[in-house]
Structure 1
C-alpha cells in the first residue's frame, strides 16, 4: 500500500519540475525502497508556481536519493538526500509571461476538474462498498485504516532530510533597459532530523507528530546581487550555452562558487554573507503537564555573526525588480486582453482595453 502511494507521489511531484522522468523505473525503485535519480534536467516551467515573469534557462538536480526501509517501516527513519540543485533563471517579457500563465491556468483548471470527477466517483464507490460490508468487515477496515495513519505519522515524524549545494541565480536584462544585474541565493547544506531532549539524533516510535523535537541546520546560506561591468551575467558571454546535464564538472564550475566558503569580492557582491544557523524546535504532547502560562511550543535559534551590506546599486535594482513583479501580478488577470502594440500605434485598441 505504502509503495503505491510513494511511487505515485514521486512521479507526480518530480514530473512537474523535471524532464526525462521514467515513471515505470521510478515505480520499481520505490518498491525496492531505494530511489535514486542522477543528473536530471529541470523544465523551463519549473518556477511557474511563483506566478512571476521568470523562466528557467538552465537547471539540474545532480542527485536525489530516497531510502525507505520497507522491512522496518515505523522503526527506522525514511531518509531523503538531495545534492547539487542548480537553477539559472531570467526575466521574460509581459507577453511571454502572460502566455505561459494562460497555459498553466488552463492546465490547472483541467486538473482540478478531473480531480473533482475522480473524488466524486470514489465517494460513490465507497458509499456502495460500505453498504455491502458486514459489521465485522467494517471494523476490520477501520482497524487497518487506523494502523495506516499511525504508521504514516511515525514515518513523517521521523523523516530525515538533507539538501546540500543549492544555487539559484536570476539574471535580468529587461527590468531596467541598459542596466543588467544578477541576484541569487546559495545554501551549502540544509538538514532536518528528529532529536531527543539533549539534541542527539533519535527515532520516536509513537506520537512522533504530536510530541516533536526537531533540529534544523542551515549552513553557508547567502544572498547576493551583482550589477555593473565587473559582474557580467553569464548569458551575455559570447557563445554561452547551458552545460550538458551529465557534465557535472561544468555545472559545478558555474554554480559551485560560494557553496563551500565565501566567494571572492570580484565574482560575488554579497548582501548577506555566508552564515550558519541552527534551529531547535520543541512541541509538547497533549498529555504532557504544563504549568499556567508555560508554552507548549518553543524555538531555540543559534547563529554566528551575520554580516549584511546593501549598496546604492543593489537597493535600486531590488526596488525596481519588486516593482516590476508587482506590476506583473496586477496586469496578469487581464493580460490576454492587453494590446501587444504601443498606444501611439493602436490608440483605439488601447481605449477598448481600458
Structure 2
C-alpha cells in the first residue's frame, strides 16, 4: 500500500538526519507492521548545523517514540503517536568555521525558497485557487485529525550561555509536562469514531508549560556524563504542579484546555447555518509573566550577541579561526583589510566593468528565453535546463525576478499557452498541496522536499481502488462543485477564556486582571471578522 512506503520514507529521512543510533531496518519492519517502538534515541550534535544558526546542539536524547498505525483499517481506527522524554541542550556556536560548500548550499536553498514563493504568488495572481481542491484538502485534513491521537510527555529544551556575560552565565529553558490530543464525543468524553460523523470533537490538554531564565546558573552541559545530564534535565520539569527549586520563571507553569469542533457539512446539519464549521474554545486558568533585573540584563546581552553574529556572518569567509585577539593582531588586521577590499572596493569596481555588464546582459536574456520555454513547452531541452540552473546559481533575486516578468509579458504578447493552464487531475493537485506549492520535480526548484519526491511515489503507486477508498473515507466526490456558503454564515469561531492574568516586574510593578474573555468570528464568504 502506498501510505506505508510514504511514512517509511519520511520517518527514515527525518530520523536519519537527526538521530545517531537509528536501526533503519527495524524501523521499516515496525512501520510495515503498524507498530513502531523506538527507545533511548540520541539526537545528533550536528542536527542544527545545516541551519547556519549561531547555536549548536550540545546534548540531545529522546526516551521513547511510539507509533501505532492500523493499516488494515486506516480510515476508521485511530493513529496513535506517543512521544516521551525529549531533552535538548543548546549552546552558542563560538567555533563557527567557514565552509564554502555549506555556504553555497545554504545560499542556494534560500534562493530556491524565494523563487518558489515568487512563482506561487505569480500563479495565484493569474488564477484564483481551485475551490474543489480546497474542499478535498479540508476533508482530507479533517479525516486525519479525526483519527489522530497524540500524547507528549516530559519535554525540556534548554539554552546555556557562558559567553554573552562571562562573569554571570545564564540558562533559559522551556519545560512541558504533557500534551494530550484526543478524539471525544459532544460531551468531551474520549471515544473512537469508526464511521463518518457530521461533527468531529477534539480535546487538547496542555499541562504545566513553563519558561524559566536563571541568571548566574550552573551549566548542566558541564556535568560528567549523559546519564547525569538526563537526570538533571528531567528533574527540572514541573510535574503535578510541583516546581523544582532554584528556577526563576518568566512564564509560570500554565495549564490549558482547547476544545475543537469540526462541522464537516454545515449545509446538511439542519441548523440553518447556525453551527460554525470550526469552533475552538481555549480555557486557561492562570497566565503569570514575570521579569527580573538580571533576566532583563541577560536578555539585552543575548540580543546584542546575536546581532554581532549576524553582522559578522557576512565576513565569515575572511575571518581567522581564532577566539582571542591577543598575540594575533597581524591576522586580525589582514582580516579587516580583506573584508573591506573584497566586499566594497573590488565589488564596486567590478559592477562597472564593461565585460561584466555584457556578460550579465547575455545571461539575463538567455535565462528569459529558457524560462519562457519552461513555462510553455512540455519537453524542455537539456541546454535550456542547464541555462536555468546555472543562471539561478549566480544571478541575484532581483534580476531573476525581472527576467521572469519579462518572459511572462512575452508569453502574453505572443499569445502562448502556459503548461499550468492545462487541466490537472486530483493527484497532480494533491502533489502541489502536499509539498506546499513549492515541491516541483525539476532540479533546482524543489524546496519543500528534497529529492525523495514523496508525492511522485504517491502518484505512481496509488491504484484506482485505493483512490476510491480514500474518497469514500473522507466523504469526497470528484467533479461536485463546492458549497457556496451564505454571507451571514459564521464559518469560524474562536473563544478564549482566561481566569487570571498576572504581570510582574520585579521590585517595581505587579498587575492582575481577572476573568478575561474574547471571541473572534469569521465570515469567510463576506470576508469579515468580528472581535468581541
Q: Taking structure 2 as the reference length, what is the TM-score of the superposition?
A: 0.51
Residue equivalent to 2:317: 337
Supply the distance in 2 between the matched residues of 1:22 and 1:104 (Cα, whole angstroms).
31
Picking from 324, 330, 336, the partner of 2:305 is 324
Closer/same/farther in 2, CA of residues 316 and 152 from structure 1, 3 Å limit = closer
Q: Does 2:147 match 1:158?
A: yes
Supply the distance in 2 between the matched residues of 1:295 and 1:319 (Cα, whole angstroms).
45
Residue equivalent to 2:63: 62
Supply the distance in 1 between the matched residues of 2:276 and 2:145 (Cα, whole angstroms).
24
Check conservation: 1:154, 1:206, Cα contact below 8 A: no
Q: Which digits, 9 at most, give the CA deviation of each residue in 1:153-182, with x for residues without a partner?
A: 634532111110001111001223333100
Q: CA offset at residue 295 of structure 1?
A: 5.0
Q: Which digits, 9 at most, give the CA deviation of each residue in 1:190-231, with x for residues without a partner?
A: 1212223222223345668x9553221110110001112xx3
Supply the distance in 2 between the matched residues of 1:235 and 1:29 (Cα, whole angstroms).
34
Closer/same/farther in 2, CA of residues 109 and 195 from structure 1, 3 Å limit = farther
Supply the distance in 1 between the matched residues of 2:165 and 2:172 (Cα, whole angstroms).
14
Closer/same/farther in 2, CA of residues 7 and 108 from structure 1, 3 Å limit = farther
Residue equivalent to 1:216: 204
Closer/same/farther in 2, CA of residues 62 and 11 from structure 1, 3 Å limit = same
Superposed, 1:72-91 pairs within 5 Å as 72-91=73-92
Residue equivalent to 1:31: 32
Supply the distance in 1 between the matched residues of 2:177 and 2:101 (Cα, whole angstroms).
36
Give the SS at the match of 1:348. Answer: helix
Q: Does 2:250 match 1:271?
A: yes
Superposed, 1:46-195 pairs within 5 Å as 46-48=47-49, 52-93=53-94, 96=96, 99=98, 103=102, 106=105, 154-195=143-184
Quote the RMSD (CA, aligned, Å).
Answer: 3.4
Supply the distance in 2 between the matched residues of 1:320 and 1:293 (Cα, whole angstroms).
53
Unpaired segments ≥5 residues, structure 1: 114-148
Residue equivalent to 1:262: 242
Q: CA offset at residue 327 of structure 1?
A: 4.4
Supply the distance in 2 between the matched residues of 1:234 and 1:33 (Cα, whole angstroms).
38
Q: Which digits, 9 at most, give the CA deviation of each residue in 1:100-132, with x for residues without a partner?
A: 79638628959x99xxxxxxxxxxxxxxxxxxx
Closer/same/farther in 2, CA of residues 74 and 43 from structure 1, 3 Å limit = same
Supply the distance in 1 between the matched residues of 2:36 and 2:54 (Cα, whole angstroms).
33
Closer/same/farther in 2, CA of residues 49 and 251 from structure 1, 3 Å limit = same
Supply the distance in 2 between the matched residues of 1:36 and 1:101 (Cα, whole angstroms).
39
Q: Which digits, 9 at most, give the CA deviation of each residue in 1:46-101, with x for residues without a partner?
A: 244765311111110000011112233222101000110011111112x51x6479
Check conservation: 2:37, 2:64, Cα contact below 8 A: yes
Check conservation: 1:52, 1:325, Cα contact below 8 A: no
Closer/same/farther in 2, CA of residues 241 and 89 from structure 1, 3 Å limit = farther
Give the SS at the match of 1:272. Answer: strand
Check conservation: 1:283, 1:296, Cα contact below 8 A: yes
Residue equivalent to 1:348: 337
Supply the distance in 1 between the matched residues of 2:340 and 2:99 (Cα, whole angstroms).
25
Supply the distance in 1 between the matched residues of 2:107 and 2:193 (Cα, whole angstroms).
38
Q: Which moved more, 1:339-348 or 1:38-47?
A: 339-348
Supply the distance in 2 between the matched residues of 1:178 and 1:166 (Cα, whole angstroms).
29
Residue equivalent to 1:281: 260
Residue equivalent to 1:300: 281
Q: Which digits, 9 at most, give the CA deviation of each residue in 1:289-345, with x for residues without a partner?
A: 67679754332111222332210111121233234334434554x344343376863
Q: Which moved more, 1:179-188 or 1:49-58?
A: 49-58
Give the SS at the match of 1:337. Answer: helix
Check conservation: 2:8, 2:28, Cα contact below 8 A: yes
Closer/same/farther in 2, CA of residues 50 and 349 from structure 1, 3 Å limit = closer
Supply the distance in 1 between the matched residues of 2:290 and 2:176 (Cα, whole angstroms).
18
Check conservation: 2:205, 2:256, Cα contact below 8 A: yes
Q: CA offset at residue 259 of structure 1?
A: 3.1
Residue equivalent to 2:9: 8
Check conservation: 1:272, 1:307, Cα contact below 8 A: yes
Q: Does 2:220 match 1:234?
A: yes
Unpaired segments ≥5 residues, structure 2: 113-137, 345-532
Closer/same/farther in 2, CA of residues 73 and 101 from structure 1, 3 Å limit = farther
How many matched pairs? Answer: 305
Picking from 184, 196, 219, the partner of 2:185 is 196
Closer/same/farther in 2, CA of residues 151 and 282 from structure 1, 3 Å limit = closer
Q: Which digits, 9 at most, give the CA deviation of each residue in 1:1-58, with x for residues without a partner?
A: 2222221111112112111212111111111111000001001132447653111111
Supply the distance in 2 between the matched residues of 1:15 and 1:153 (Cα, whole angstroms).
29
Q: Taking structure 1 as the reference length, what is the TM-score of the superposition?
A: 0.74
